[in-house]
Amino acid sequence: MPVTRPAASVDLDGVELRVLHIPLVSPFTTSFGTETVREVIVVRALADGVEGWGEIVTQQAPLYSSEYTQGAWDVATRFLIPALLAERTIAPERVASVLEPFVGHRMAKAGLELAVLDAALRGEGRSFGSYAGAVADRVPSGVSVGIQRDPAALVETVRGYLDDGYVRIKIKIKPGRDIDDTAAVREAFGSIPLQVDANSAYTLADTDTLAQLDRFDLLLIEQPLQEDDLVDHATLAGSLSTSVCLDESITSRKVAADALALGSAAIVNIKAGRVGGYLEAIAIHDLCRDADVPVWCGGMLETGIGRAANAALAALPGFTLPGDVSAADRFYARDIVTEPAVLDDGHVRVPTGPGLGVDIDPDALDAFTVEKAVIRP
């Protein structure tokens, strides 16, 4: 269901970027490494006396993807923002085409597009959920659980999230921390909705190991192989009874279409930052819905800005599996919005206010800021 009523154009007067360092409530470990502080770029679009907010979801180092914070800062300040400011008046739906000549840097582009979109919708008094086609006022909330000290510690961590009310558990795995961890969680909690995320940690040589996961009746195994291994993912999928879901591989609607045609994925994880923006994310949703392929909304440890946008995205009709739109306190003791997302009966509310429907806490924003720049025409 494409966007049926485009947003109004805005006169873009400038763009502010801030690098934030926000402490996590606990270390978050994946096959890529361990994070204790979330480094993220927050975008503020200055347009017609209205502010719009976006989030560039890069990490400090290029481990999850080729993008990283200082690289995103450089390309945004030197190329992307000047290109947008040169337009002066721009509709959010044109941001992607204006930035298309600059190869890659999808996370940076996504954050800028979201800020312009938020400004335009705030000016109209229209919510992002309404604009995108949301059909629900709340979305089921899953939680992503990092690799713990040992299987026993993992079980206790999962127990805490189930007690909180999360309706789906995702555990991170890597070679040597896969079968025993998954077995421990399944044995402890029975038939809870459970999936695993490999973050590209395996190769086809590990097929026999990954096949052992079939006995745990998982919802899916997420991104077992490398980002560019679409053919190998199709080969692997033929050897598993567990559904293969792609995450890192899905960088655009075109790649998603290729993956479906090859049989590389039975399920797709859509992350707006990874695919270049929420409008491209909506297009991938539409593609998968037409193909009867389930999708869910992944997370990148977003602040309240990206979390609000993700909640609205996850409320589209094709998002039939619980995503990673968790409560803010899953990761942060203090968020940068005045009303952080909370868990209510296993769900997170879809904001209904203008734009993203959240307001920035200026004191928190300043407290976490380590670098700041304003770019004007």
Evaluated on CA atoms 8, 278, 297, 133, the torsion sign reads: positive
How far, in Å, CA of 311 to CA of 45, rounded?
21
Q: Tell me how far apart the alpha carbons of residues 18 and 55 are, in angstroms, rounded to a whole number.
A: 10
Give the H/E segment covering residue 112. helix 106-124
Dist CA 60 CA 70 (whole Å):
7
Q: Measure the CA dihedral 354/355/361/364, to 10°.
A: 170
Query: Does the annotation count 172 as an active-site position?
Result: yes
Query: Which residue out of 172, 174, 254, 372 is catalytically annotated?
Result: 172
Distance in angstroms (rounded) separating the CA atoms of residues 343 and 190:
23
Is 271 annotated as catalytic? yes
Amino acid sitting at position 154 = L
Which residue in 206, 220, 215 sits closest to 183, CA to CA? 215
Q: Which residues are catalytic?
A: 172, 271
